[in-house]
Structure 1
Amino acid sequence: MPARRRCGVLGDPIGHSLSPVLHRTGYAVTGLDWEYDAHQVPAGTLADFLGSLGEEWRGLSLTMPLKREVMSLAGGVSPAAALAGAANTLVRDDDLTWRADNTDIGGARAALAERGATSVESATILGGGSTATSTGLALCDLGAREIRLLVRSADRATETVTALRAHPGRPEVVVAGLVDDVIGDVAVSTIPAEAQDPGLVARCARVPVVFDVLYHPWPTPLALAAGDRVLVSGLDLLVHQAALQFTLFTGLDAPLTAMRTAGEQALADRGVT
């Protein structure tokens, strides 16, 4: 077994990622002499990158555009990743094969629960990509029986609709446009801050829980308008999914508080409050 393990985050673009800060903090707190770096891996090149890695590599975090591409490359797939049709995590097993997992679902579920949203009946998700899938499945895990997807193009939400309808809770999934009503216990935004126009923000005003998956730029228009309502941030999601990855990679409990503090400091250093 290699004396030192390596992990990393892959994607394109990747320079903005906070994952190195979070995971390195976890290693420092737990006394692990491990490495974790960011690697730019464009779409269509993941197979070559994986083939270039030595046996010292233990785990990989995946961001866009690799979350669905990885599914055909893994030697094994967890139930969560299979349900989502996407993975944000690769774990190297002892036989050196890669196992795909999805900690975005558990991370979203934990982020909501941490803010007191432990039971959900219905929700609206803005956007229909892989993040909408993982947050939607988390909402289903928390009991949501109805989910509305508000999207610019219904065709782009097909994979998300299929995944949500396959959840064991068998929720009703409705697809509508971004100009339609926002209803339910939770409003989840997976769209860019610049797409959060005043009309959309106003339509979210009556939803008691606002979950914006962004952490930079922050605060977004939806976050600014949340007022005294429950607000779940992209940093909440990022820290919780990274903590789950940390445990999958190392077998140790993640130092969640230290990882969150490091993430907050890194954002403050970038001028994000």
Structure 2
Amino acid sequence: MVRRCAVIGSPIAHSLSPLLHRTAYAELGIADEYQYDAFEVTPDTLDEFVAGLGSEWVGLSVTAPDKQALLCHGVADPLAEALRSANTLILGRDGEPNRVYNTDIVGFGAALARQGVRTARTAVLVGNGATARTALLGLARLGVDDAVVLARDESRARASLDPIAGPAGVRLRVQPFGSAPELPEEWNGHADLLVSTVPVEVPDNLASALVQKVSAVFEATYNHYPTAIDRAAARAGLVSVDGLDFLVGQALDQIRLMTGRQADPGPLLAACRAEIARRQPSA
């Protein structure tokens, strides 16, 4: 019996997950054992979709807007519980319960580790949404205990990020988005890491100003890839991790959970970058 997996969310047509998982299956020599598809599923239809999965199903990758609703469909791992967001469902067998995971945190750390970044103490975090919450917990796991957050609305930023920062022991200093941050005096004008999580393109002048204040850069999104921050980091010769590194990182842990095998990130990154290049309009 072919084992089935899929990505669900809405909209789903743009998802790179089928490409990543199918590439991994081919590299691992299990393409005839596993099938990976994509389905349009919203929180309103999630219960019905999961209930209809047969015995051939192994698991699901889950993207927006279903990540919070997924928590009701299994026992959550500590990371998913802390973030109140899950991106992976592994179906229980032989009376075992379903399990839900958040592999974004593992992907965050793995993407940085592949570029030699394994620890940090100070960080600048751009944004305060769901990706910023994930990044903040990832930063805490790296050792960050002091962070400047650039956000348009301090009260919203606090409401989103304080529940993560408090238990993780990270001090947050919220500053307005749109200009280079004023770093705390004790940082000596320098932060270990910049993480940008905003889906909109950052102006070139702001991107340049941001990268001048840090040792390494993580552009967590791949909207407008390569972004202004990606380009500024390259010009400055900084260690740089981009949104495709992040995407592959979280997919690798999903593949491990679904197949029990560890895929090589190289072919997945190559396939991902080739597909993004193909999708970009010709000059």
TM-score in same-fold range (> 0.5): yes
| RMSD, aligned α-carbons | 2.0
Matched with 2:29 is 31
Question: Which secondary structure state, in structure 1, belongs to the residue aligned with residue 222 of structure 2?
Answer: coil
**Aligned equivalents of 2:47 and 2:276: distance in 1?**
32
Q: 1:251 — aligned with what?
A: 260
Choose 19-28 or 154-163, whichever is displaced more.
Answer: 154-163
Counterpart of 1:4 in structure 2 is: 2
Contact 1:43 1:65 in 2 (8 A): yes
What amino acid is the match of 1:128?
Answer: N
What code does the residue aligned with 1:187 have? L
Q: Relative to structure 1, is the Cα distance of residues 47 and 152 closer, same or farther in structure 2, using a 3 angstrom cutoff?
A: farther
Aligned residue number for residue 207 of structure 2: 201
Structure 2 length-normalised TM? 0.87
Look up the match of 2:224: 217
- Report the counterpart of residue 160 of structure 1 in structure 2: 161
Structure-1 separation of matches of 2:115 and 2:272: 18
SS of the residue 1:118 aligns to: coil
1:215: Cα distance to partner? 2.2
For residues 1-273 of structure 1, what are the structure 2 equivalents within 5 Å?
A: 3-32=1-30, 33-71=33-71, 73-94=72-93, 95=95, 97-157=97-157, 158-167=159-168, 170-179=169-178, 181-182=180-181, 183=183, 184-194=191-201, 196-206=202-212, 207-226=214-233, 227=235, 228-271=237-280
Letter in 1 for 2:229: L
In the comparison of the two structures, how many residue pairs are matched?
A: 267
Distance 1:201 1:264 in 2: 22
Query: Once the two structures are superposed, what CA deviation does each residue of 1:89-148 show, in whole Å capped at 9, x if it has no partner?
Result: 111121364211111001011111111211111111111122111111111111101122
Report % sequence identity: 37
**Unpaired segments ≥5 residues, structure 1:** none
Moved more, 37-46 or 237-246: 37-46
> How has the CA–CA distance of structure 1 residues 257 and 199 changed in structure 2, closer, same or farther, with 3 Å as cutoff?
closer
Distance 1:261 1:35 in 2: 21
Q: Is the 8 A contact 1:74 1:97 kept in 2?
A: no
Q: Relative to structure 2, which stretch is displaced further, 152-161 or 212-221?
A: 152-161
Question: Is the Cα contact below 8 Å between 2:200 and 2:223 reproduced in 1?
Answer: no
Per-residue CA deviation, residues 156-210 of structure 1 (Å, 9 max, x unaligned), is: 432332023222xx1112333213543521111111233x124532430322212
Instruction: Supply the distance in 1 between the matched residues of 2:165 and 2:2 (Cα, whole angstroms).
Output: 40
TM-score (norm 1): 0.90
Seen in structure 2, the aligned counterparts of structure 1 residues 141 and 11 have a Cα distance that, compared at 3 Å, is same
Residues 1:97 and 1:272: Cα distance change in structure 2 (over 3 Å):
farther
SS of aligned partner of 1:58:
strand
Flag the structure with larger Rg. Answer: 2
Distance 2:281 2:111 in 1: 20
Measure how far apart 1:212 and its partner are: 0.9
Runs of 4+ in 1 over 3 A off after TM superposition: 154-157, 179-183
CA distance in 2 between partners of 1:69 and 1:149 (Å): 27
